[in-house]
Amino acid sequence: MRDDRLEAKREAATLAEHAAAARALAERLGLEPYPVRYWVVDHDEMNELIAYEGFQRRYPHWRWGMNYERQRQTDRHGLGKAFEIVNNDDPAHAFLQESNTTADQKAVITHVEAHADFFANNRWFGLYADRGADGPNAAARLERNADRLSAIADRPDVDRDAVERLIDAVSSLSDTIDQHSPVDAARGAEGDGPGRPSDSDASPADSAAELRARIAELDLSEAVRRDVFDEEWLAGQEGDAEPDEPRPDVLAFLRDHGKRYDADSGKAVDREPWETTVIDAVREEAYYFAGQKSTKVMNEGWATYWESVMMGGEGFAGPDEFLTYADHMARVLGSPGLNPYKLGFELWTHLELRAARRDVIDRLLRVEGVTPDTFHTRIDLDRVAEALAPHPAIAGAGPATLDDLAALAAAGDPRVDSEAVDRALSAREGDLDPDDAPDIERHPWTLLTYEGLAERHYVLSRPEHRGALRSVSRATLAERARYMFDVDRYPTVEAALADVDRTAGWERMFAVRESHNDVTFLDEFLTDEFVREGNYFTYEYSRAGEEFRVASVDADDVRRKLLLRFTNFGKPTIVALDGNFRNRGELLLGHRYNGVALDEEQAKATLERVFELWGRPVNLATIRTEYAEEEVRRAKRRGREPTGTEAGVRFRYDGEAASEHALADDLVALIAADDVDYDTKPDEWLA
Amino acid sequence: MGLVEDRERFREVGEDRREDLSAFITHGDLGGSAPDRIRIPIKVVDLPAFEYDRRDAGGVGQGRGGQPQPGQPVDPQPGDGDGSEDGDGDGDPGEEGGDHEYYEMDPEEFAQELDEELGLELEPKGKRVIEEVEGDFTDTARAGPKGTLDLDEFFKRGLKRHLATDFDGEYVREGLFVAGADVDDVFAWARGKRIPVSRAWIADAATEVEAEIGGPVAAADRWASFAALESVIDHEPVAVRIRRDGLDGVPFRREDERFRHPEVIEKRERNVVVVNVRDASGSMRETKRELVERVFTPMDWYLTGKYDAAEFRYVVHDAEAWEVDRSDFFGVQSGGGTRISSAYALVAEILEEYPFDEWNRYVFAAGDSENAGNDTTEGVIPMMESIEANLHAYVETQPGGSAPNARHADEVERALGDVDNVAVARVAGPEDVTDAIYRVLSTEDGPDGGERR
């Protein structure tokens, strides 16, 4: 054991140096990450962390055991290598596996720095993070939940299985939250604070919940709590359970108005306070993970992009490590299925390319005599490409170009870090101890500023994107020209190019990473060009063929289909419609029908979990498409798809049996959305 | 720790205590569903959630090599055991799916699974002798319960030590009185006479002598030379002294302790040597080489899992044969012609290191069945008959069926097809791999391994 720790320490010492260098580079590239604490762990500790979704402690639940078993098998059989775990927190905590190669560790560190930047700057993470002065404080919160819930499970008066069952039930609904709002929107912020929505917004139900939360915060013993704040008193503080508006945060609604079914009396009884604590804890964590789930493509793509700039572009991987790194990258990007790393990486690159191209086009269109029609004939794009290539001293920054850089620095060039150049020169002349000078052999980036690095990595000068200007369509040009005022004309192409902003691509990326989530990201940046070049397509199930078939290669279709996959975590939207359905205290949930039906088996099973949180009969309104047998037979014979009819249906579960009922028309109208269509089937399948 | 408990709870999911969850248990496959991957069954419990109907939802795919045509079936069909599909949408950044290309499985588990999968039941044979406990308390070890301490042995060892380290101090001391001899000279002299004395001891003695005579030892000149000394005084052997003075103290040491323990009874270790032989001639192009790898790798794994100890040797040949490392084995390609008997000659040589009465021997050869002239009948077949082995296998890799001049497999099969320890298998494509492995591994001669027809 002691030996292990020694090894980890030795590893940690070498890694600390890399981490510091990576941080310096990341900041120079314009990233603003949370501070990152790196931990070196052995593979078993790594497996545990993966089991706990990146944290050291979680509340007791069999799911972590399952994760661990799976991860251990994966690890043991070498089926997947765990490289890194980083959690969204300020400071972020990242875990490195000590047995990995230095090349892998460096790749992980650069990747992690970019993730930490994303955590710190993305608005959707902010939903959870902006909770007062102490930031997200996630590890501490999760740890506190772990403490609370294990204390509850250990209580002699509480049945441990009941706690587990309750966690199961809440977990089943962990995606039925209002992911677009902060976790505290439905109740008061813990520990008070100005971050809380103003009282006027809070519905009565919310304030009751807040009350409960505050009482929970007081940490009173159960006896006192029951005496002073008994359920009757609390009930008096609550409003009624009929939301005026459908409530997307179903979990909060159940927490505030749900009861527990008591098998002995056959009645719904008020929950024990510990039950509310459990529901609250699991719900809060669902909000924490919502930020990650809703930005998976962006976040992984972002980290992969900057990892490649740092490791490959800036030589953070030493020459001897580069192959290992390239192999690592190829595996990350090559893993099958819809791969968020790859999709995200490609989208970010595409976005950068388009922003840079737009900047160049805007300038070229302002050259005297250039119009969308004459663009391709009047401008020699080969010469443009040459002119856009980075300055040789910038591109090859390092010991060899030090004198050239010094000359640029003397002229006040903003692309060069004149102080670093000065120190490097002094070291070369022997006036400065080399230990105090930047190591420009290994870290040439220290000689350049953000502007310099932007020029060095300018997207339009990368070989694979050289043709990007040539392929721009006349329609695109015309559209750009339409919004251009007839001012600031350039006399020559050269003059226009001199003004090109090499940071345009990165600046756009920074802006997008602040405000977007996966849904808006895909919606806005999944262009026709992207779909065409990536060979993306949609598929649909053919009932006649009894198999999935390629349905469309149209960019709009692909985008819509992808959005279905990412909107609301790719899950159907379920809302609480009525807490006193049919005036019998039954719960009515509604599936906001967007043309895609529910998985009925799962929906019914989930409804049984909802019952555990409501205590009285529960209902779910949805719409499904029904196909008459005769119609299916006929369609098959004729080789076409059968036509079905949409019908409203209500599933009900009363604690013992499930039943199906027709859905009243007004409810059908309430849950059906009319402006969304995710069906991308062509009118006629090709034979 | 918490996780230990969580794992315990997980094990109980679906059992009595949490029987309510048994409906949600699936036994998924780890490592995806492609046929060339090894599957590892795992228990997965998916809590129900509100989800879209998979069929109704459809999805997005990415075409490989061009945009697909609407209407064509999606290949592979989505959703069949695709673990990487990220069905629960959980968002751990940093968990990585990729790396499925390596057979990195516990060989024993692999062997077990292959047994189940193919209905094989290969019982490994014990050959080389290894130790195993049980018997009379006649052997000794350095550690054990006090009661089993072997006192005789203990005393003997102590005595031996005594004899080995004791010496006639007076005699050595006398050396210091040789004219002109200093400490080093005396030390060299004593050592030359095999007296187990240390230089430090002599140095101490010299100090005493100097005090005695009041001058440097070099000045003491009782004897003119060592020879003069030796002619007068005899070195008294220790044994003589002990006999005269008796044994005042035997230096007992912990390291002399020997404890009796039960005699070791021999047990046979089940060990195996596998010689993999591959044709590396010009006609063995990449697809053929890959087929060889697909067949050989699992077989090697299987045998590794079945035996206590497995050794692998790799031989490639064209018209000549040479031995290579595993890392080179599947990749090597040479330009030359083919003479398969050259490989068997080398195999015979290699196997001399592994006597057949101690080792289980397997010879797996693969190639495209092309061979020089009548090398098969005149060279290879006699050697296959003479080389003793549990199994000789020839795997013909001929994508797209056999070629007219490729007759090696046929000829071997004709000549030795009914011999118990010879197997011939043909592989035309990846889909034949499993059959070939089964054919090879299910062929083996009798349980004693030795009998031949």
pLDDT tens readout for residues B168-209: 778 888 888 888 788 888 888 888 877 878 888 888 888 888
Query: Shortest CA distance to A30 belongs to which of A405, A486, A508, A355?
Result: A508
Q: Which CATH superfamily is domain B268-445 in?
A: von Willebrand factor, type A domain (3.40.50.410)
Quick one: what percent of chain B has pLDDT higher than 90?
6
Hey, what are A611's tokens? 């019952």
Q: How many domains does chain A have?
A: 2
pLDDT tens readout for residues A179-235: 777 776 554 333 333 333 333 333 444 455 555 665 555 555 555 555 555 554 454
Count of C-beta atoms within a 10 Å radius of residue A374: 12
Q: Give A220 or A130, the one with higher predicted confidence.
A: A130
Hey, what are B2's tokens? 């918490």
Q: Give A316 or A327, the one with higher predicted confidence.
A: A316
Question: Cβ(B50)–Cβ(A602) under 8 Å?
Answer: yes
Rounded to a whole number of angstroms, the distance from the CA of B67 to the nearest CA of chain A is 5
Q: How confident is the model at residue A682 (pLDDT cuts 50, 70, 90)?
A: confident
* Confidence at residue A211, expressed as pLDDT on a 0 to 100 scale: 57
- Same domain for A326 and A374? no
Q: Is residue A626 part of a domain?
A: no
Hey, what are A76's tokens? 């043991």
- Same domain for A333 and A347? no
Contact between chains at A82 and B24 (C-beta distance less than 8 A): no
Residue of A nearest to B18 (CA): A161
Q: Which residue among B47, B60, B97 places its CB closest to the CB of A565?
A: B60
- Same domain for A459 and A402? yes
B303-317 mean pLDDT: 83
- Same domain for A437 and A527? yes
Hey, what are B434's tokens? 């499993």
pLDDT above 90 for A506:
yes
Residue of A nearest to B66 (CA): A535
Angstrom distance (rounded) from CA B177 to CA A456: 87
Q: Is residue A399 part of a domain?
A: yes
Q: Is residue A635 part of a domain?
A: no
Residues of each domain in chain B carrying CATH 3.40.50.410:
268-445
The three-class DSSP label of residue B198 is: coil
Hey, what are B214's tokens? 């009041």
Residue A622 main-chain phi, psi, to 5 deg? -150, 180
Q: How confident is the model at residue A639 (pLDDT cuts 50, 70, 90)?
A: confident
Query: Shortest CA distance to A248 belongs to which of A16, A577, A474?
Result: A577
Residue of B nearest to A551 (CA): B70
Residue of B nearest to A294 (CA): B91
Going from the C-alpha of A468 to that of each of A302, A354, A357, the distances in angstroms are 22, 9, 8
Question: Cβ(B65)–Cβ(A585) under 8 Å?
Answer: no
Domain boundary among A514, A531, A548: A531
B236-265 mean pLDDT: 70
Hey, what are B140's tokens? 């000794």
DSSP assignment of A122-159, as one string?
Answer: -HHHHHHH-SSTT---HHHHHHHHHHHHHHHHH-TTS-
Rounded to a whole number of angstroms, the distance from the CA of B115 to the nearest CA of chain A is 19
B16-39 mean pLDDT: 53
Q: Give A670 or A11, the one with higher predicted confidence.
A: A670
- Same domain for A375 and A319? no
| Chain centroid to CA B311 | 6
pLDDT above 50 for B11:
yes
Going from the C-alpha of A416 to that of each of A305, A391, A422, A631, the distances in angstroms are 24, 11, 11, 73
Q: Chain B contact for A126, CB < 8 A?
A: no
Q: Chain B contact for A682, CB < 8 A?
A: yes
* Confidence at residue A394, expressed as pLDDT on a 0 to 100 scale: 92
Find the range with the poorest average confidence among A15-24, A148-157, A255-264, B325-334: B325-334
Q: Which residue among B48, B82, B93 places its CB closest to the CB of A300?
A: B93
Q: Chain B contact for A609, CB < 8 A?
A: yes
Domain boundary among A516, A531, A546: A531
pLDDT tens readout for residues B43-99: 778 889 999 998 888 888 887 767 788 888 887 777 643 333 333 333 333 333 322
Question: Which range is most confident: A110-119, A330-339, B261-270?
Answer: A110-119
* Confidence at residue B265, expressed as pLDDT on a 0 to 100 scale: 60
Question: Cβ(A500)–Cβ(A359) under 8 Å?
Answer: yes
* Confidence at residue A382, expressed as pLDDT on a 0 to 100 scale: 86
pLDDT tens readout for residues A588-614: 999 999 889 999 999 999 999 999 999
A234-253: b (≥16 Cβ within 10 Å) or e: beeebeebebeebbbbbbbb
Query: Shortest CA distance to B378 belongs to which of B423, B412, B401?
Result: B412
Q: Chain B contact for A93, CB < 8 A?
A: no
Which conformational region is residue A40 in: left (phi greater than 0), alpha (psi within -120 to 50 degrees), or beta?
Answer: beta
Q: Which strands make up the sheet holding A618-626, listed edge to edge?
A: A574-581, A586-591, A618-626, A645-653, A658-662
Angstrom distance (rounded) from CA A303 to CA A88: 13
Question: Cβ(B226)–Cβ(B127) under 8 Å?
Answer: no
pLDDT above 70 for B430:
yes
- Same domain for A331 and A404? no
pLDDT above 60 for B262:
yes
Tell me which DSSP letter residue A416 carries: B
Hey, what are A274's tokens? 């510990």
Q: Is residue A227 part of a domain?
A: no
Contact between chains at B48 and A534 (C-beta distance less than 8 A): no
Angstrom distance (rounded) from CA B161 to CA B268: 38
- Same domain for A382 and A515? yes
Quick one: what percent of chain A has pLDDT higher than 70?
85
A441-453 mean pLDDT: 91
Q: Chain B contact for A307, CB < 8 A?
A: no
Beta-sheet pairing, B321-324 with B360-367: unpaired
The three-class DSSP label of residue A472 is: coil
Hey, what are B165's tokens? 């380290």
- Same domain for A330 and A451? no
Tell me which DSSP letter residue B289 carries: H
* Confidence at residue B104, expressed as pLDDT on a 0 to 100 scale: 40
Angstrom distance (rounded) from CA B137 to CA B131: 15
Considering only CB atoms, which chain B residues are within 8 Å of A77? 30-31, 38, 40, 104-106
- Same domain for A468 and A432? yes
Angstrom distance (rounded) from CA A608 to CA A654: 8
Hey, what are A120's tokens? 């710190």
In this structure, which amino acid lies at residue A303? Answer: A
The distance in angstroms from the start CA to the end CA of chain B is 61
* Confidence at residue A239, expressed as pLDDT on a 0 to 100 scale: 46
* Confidence at residue B96, expressed as pLDDT on a 0 to 100 scale: 31
Angstrom distance (rounded) from CA A481 to CA A466: 22
Hey, what are A200's tokens? 């006027």
- Helix then strand then coil, in percent of chain B rounded to 5, is 40, 20, 45
CA angle A237–A238–A239, rounded 5-degree value: 125
Rounded to a whole number of angstroms, the distance from the CA of B311 to the nearest CA of chain A is 22
Angstrom distance (rounded) from CA B70 to CA B74: 10
Considering only CB atoms, which chain A residues are within 8 Å of B78? 539, 548
Question: Cβ(A64)–Cβ(B31) under 8 Å?
Answer: no
Going from the C-alpha of A192 to that of each of A7, A180, A189, A366, the distances in angstroms are 45, 22, 5, 56
pLDDT tens readout for residues A671-680: 887 666 777 7
- Same domain for A332 and A353? no
* Confidence at residue A501, expressed as pLDDT on a 0 to 100 scale: 93
Domain boundary among A531, A560, A590: A531
Contact between chains at A62 and B82 (C-beta distance less than 8 A): no
Angstrom distance (rounded) from CA A92 to CA A5: 22
Query: Shortest CA distance to A625 belongs to which of A596, A590, A654?
Result: A596
Angstrom distance (rounded) from CA A106 to CA A93: 16
- Helix then strand then coil, in percent of chain A rounded to 5, is 55, 10, 35
Q: What is the mean pLDDT of chain B?
A: 74
In this structure, which amino acid lies at residue B75? Answer: D
Question: Cβ(B10)–Cβ(A62) under 8 Å?
Answer: yes
* Confidence at residue A459, expressed as pLDDT on a 0 to 100 scale: 92
Residue A373 main-chain phi, psi, to 5 deg? -75, -35
Q: Which residue among A111, A338, A685 places its CB closest to the CB of B71?
A: A685
Residue of B nearest to A302 (CA): B93
Considering only CB atoms, which chain A residues are within 8 Å of B56? 541, 596-597, 625
pLDDT above 80 for A28:
yes
Considering only CB atoms, which chain B residues are within 8 Å of A161? 17-18
Q: Give B118 or A122, the one with higher predicted confidence.
A: A122
* Confidence at residue A631, expressed as pLDDT on a 0 to 100 scale: 86
Angstrom distance (rounded) from CA B280 to CA B283: 8
pLDDT above 90 for B217:
no
Range of A512's domain?
343-531
Query: Shortest CA distance to B346 belongs to which of B362, B322, B326?
Result: B322
Q: What number of H helices and E strands is found in chain B? A: 16, 13
Q: How confident is the model at residue B345 (pLDDT cuts 50, 70, 90)?
A: very high
The three-class DSSP label of residue A641 is: coil
- Same domain for A64 and A108? yes
Q: What is the mean pLDDT of chain A?
A: 83
Angstrom distance (rounded) from CA B372 to CA B209: 88
Angstrom distance (rounded) from CA A369 to CA A60: 72
Q: Is residue A28 part of a domain?
A: yes
pLDDT above 90 for A27:
yes
* Confidence at residue B250, expressed as pLDDT on a 0 to 100 scale: 67
Going from the C-alpha of B356 to that of each of A127, B210, B363, the distances in angstroms are 73, 71, 13
Residue B267 main-chain phi, psi, to 5 deg? -130, 150
Angstrom distance (rounded) from CA A570 to CA A548: 19
| Chain centroid to CA A451 | 29
pLDDT tens readout for residues A345-385: 989 999 999 999 999 999 999 888 888 888 888 888 888 88
Angstrom distance (rounded) from CA A444 to CA B356: 63
- Same domain for A393 and A526? yes
Beta-sheet pairing, B259-261 with B265-268: unpaired
Q: Give A650 or A532, the one with higher predicted confidence.
A: A650
